[in-house]
Amino acid sequence: MKLSNLFSFLAGAALVLGITTVSQSRAQSPNHVFELRMYHTPDGKMDALNTRFRDHTISIFNRLNMKSVGYFVATDAPNAGNLLIYVLEHPSRAEADKNWAAFNADPEWQKVRKESEANGALTTKIERFFMNPTDYSPLK
């Protein structure tokens, strides 16, 4: 198993277990899924990526009914300063795929991405994992 896969799994598990109050306040379908995303950035691009999320991406997510659970940055080497981790909640895997297709086709997103990457890409690698809570998870 690659170290990055192990790190991804552990980060996802920690995030899911640590975010109980958000989920407990919502009515959820039994088929909902959580999506863990990890964005690796080139050196010096984390501030620009955070700005893009803060100022644009999250509002587009909200408009397209993509529910944010939490956003995090890595604090330990070797990923400190160049890894953004976040979790979205979707009603189903099919809805997640549909929402991502709408997001990628969205004219506002296309404009924001082009402008924010005028001096180079903000990510070098994006990892994506879908997760279902276990029956004993406080986050369901």
pLDDT tens, residue by residue, 94-117: 999 999 999 999 999 999 999 999
If we measure between CA atoms, which residue out of 62, 68, 49, 52 comes closest to residue 102? 62
Residue 30 confidence class, pLDDT cut points 50, 70, 90: low
Query: Do the domain assignments include residue 122?
Result: yes
Query: Do the domain assignments include residue 34?
Result: yes
Query: Do the domain assignments include residue 125?
Result: yes
**Domain span at 116:** 3-131
Average pLDDT, integer, range 89-97: 95
Query: Do the domain assignments include residue 123?
Result: yes
How many domains does the structure of the chain reveal?
1
- The mean predicted confidence, pLDDT, of the chain is 85
pTM, to two decimals: 0.78
Query: Do the domain assignments include residue 84?
Result: yes
Q: Does 78 sit behind a cis peptide bond, omega within 30 degrees of 0 on the bond before it? A: yes
Q: Which residue has the higher pLDDT, 55 or 22?
A: 55
Query: Do the domain assignments include residue 136?
Result: no
- CATH, residue 12: 3.30.70.100
Query: Do the domain assignments include residue 62?
Result: yes
